[in-house]
């Protein structure tokens, strides 16, 4: 379960109109979906918001990965539903909250799947986030697959010494992770030291006025996306205040436990 969930946020290089969009435009779009999801508690509205993202997913050619991440998030979604019901929310509302979770998760997953860490870093730089922060972010993202490989190697090495991670009671299982965590942490530290040495040798931090050979340029498509997002938000606000949405009533009474 857990790994599929993470996969939904991993970037893959693909040639699609969505991938070619400026990350700033995409992020505004994502924020738009996010804001709309927070605004509504009505299940029909939330379903529409969720479904509205699907054309984008299709255009980005990432359908199977997106589906996998949705499946990965199923556990959490159902958890939200069950928790809400237990604590007294109506079934209809609980469904709505679950839908909201999926709408938000889908929006962010979609953003990260179609935006490379480098482009993200560039976007952050160009909105004047301090370089040290944006660089930390992109390096961390870049290191995730590397460290995942390290983690697998450590697990393999310790299993080869007889460590059995799937045996024993709860306490034993936790203790069994010490021979995994320590080498992993130490490897990470060693790697960071080597990276830091290399950074220094490439004059990292030499000047406040860093230049960049690539700059992100907003094109027509990006502006179109931003305008569409604003329009969509405006429409959502209008619907929220002036349109009465049908409500879903599920005539099942859950005995109040709390």
Partner 1 sequence: MPAIVAKDLSFTYAGGDKPSMEHVNLSIDKGEFVILTGPSGCGKTTFCRCLNGLIPNFYAGDLQGKLRIDDIDVKGKSTAELATHIGFVFQNPENQLFSLSVERDVAFGLENLGVPREEALKRVEWAMQATGILALRKKAPYELSGGQQQRAAIAGVLAMRPSVIVLDEPTSFLDPKSAEEIVAVIAKLNRELNLTTLLVEHRLDVVSRFANRVVVMDKGEVVLDGPPDEIYSDQARLIGIGLPRVTMLFHLLRLDGFPVTKNPTTVEQAADELKRMLNP
Partner 2 sequence: MIAVENVTFNYPGGPEVLHNLNLRINDGEFVAIMGENGAGKTTLVKMFNGLLKPVQGRVLVDGVETREKSVAQLSRNVGLIFQNPDHQLFAETVSEELAFSLRNFGFKEEVIQRQVTNLLTALDLERYATSSPFVLSGGERKRVALAAILVWDPKHVIMDEPTIGQDYLQKDRLRNFIMQLESQEKTVVIVTHDVEFVAECKPRVILLSQGRVIGDGPAVEILTNRHLIDQSSLVMPQIASLMNRLKELDAPPGIIDAYSAREFLKNRLRNVISTRPPPER
Q: Least distance in Å: CB of 123 to partner 1?
A: 14
d(CA 95, CA 254): 14
244: helix, strand or coil: coil
Of 23, 17, 16, residue with least CA distance to 214:
23
Contacts of residue 47, defined as CB under 8 A and 6 or more positions apart, other chains included, come to 99
Environment class of 92 (CB within 10 Å of its CB; exposed 0-12, middle 13-18, buried 19+): middle
What's the rounded Cα separation, in Å, for the pair 107 and 124? 19
Counting contacts by CB under 8 A, is residue 213 touching partner 1? yes
CB of 189 to partner 2, least distance (A): 10
Which of the choices partner 1, partner 2, none does residue 142 contact, using the CB cut-off of 5 to 8 A by kind?
Answer: partner 1
- Cβ proximity to partner 2, 65 vs 100, nearer residue: 65
Task: Indicate which of partner 2, partner 1, none lies near residue 183 (CB less than 5 to 8 Å, by partner kind).
Answer: partner 2
The answer to whether residue 62 forms part of the interface with partner 2 (CB under 8 A) is no
Q: Do the Cβ atoms of 36 and 232 come closer than 8 Å? A: yes
CB of 185 to partner 2, least distance (A): 9
Q: How far is the CB of 147 from partner 1 (least distance, A)?
A: 11
Binding site for partner 2 (CB under 8 A): 150, 153-154, 156-164, 178-179, 182-183, 186-187, 190
């Amino acid at each position: 379960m857990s790994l599929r969930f993470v996969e939904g946020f991993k970037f893959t290089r693909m040639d699609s109109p969505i991938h070619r969009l400026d990350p700033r435009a995409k992020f505004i779009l994502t924020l738009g979906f996010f804001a709309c999801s927070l605004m509504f508690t009505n299940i029909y509205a939330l379903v529409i918001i969720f479904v509205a993202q699907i054309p984008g997913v299709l255009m980005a050619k990432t359908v199977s990965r997106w589906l996998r991440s949705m499946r990965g998030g199923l556990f959490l979604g159902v958890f939200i539903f069950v928790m809400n019901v237990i604590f007294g929310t109506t079934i209809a509302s609980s469904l709505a909250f679950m839908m909201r979770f999926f709408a938000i998760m889908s929006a962010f997953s979609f953003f990260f799947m179609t935006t490379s860490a480098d482009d993200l870093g560039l976007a952050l730089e160009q909105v004047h986030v301090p370089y040290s922060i944006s660089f930390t972010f992109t390096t961390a993202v870049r290191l995730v697959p590397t460290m995942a490989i390290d983690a697998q190697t450590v697990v393999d090495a310790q299993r080869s010494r007889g460590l059995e991670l799937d045996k024993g009671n709860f306490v034993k299982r936790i203790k069994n992770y010490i021979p995994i965590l320590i080498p992993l942490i130490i490897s990470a530290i060693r790697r960071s030291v080597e990276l830091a040495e290399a950074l220094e040798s490439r004059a990292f931090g030499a000047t406040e006025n860093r230049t960049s050979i690539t700059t992100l340029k907003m094109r027509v498509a990006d502006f179109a996306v931003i305008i569409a997002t604003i329009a969509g938000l405006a429409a959502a606000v209008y619907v929220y205040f002036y349109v009465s949405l049908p409500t879903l009533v599920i005539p099942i009474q859950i005995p109040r436990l709390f």
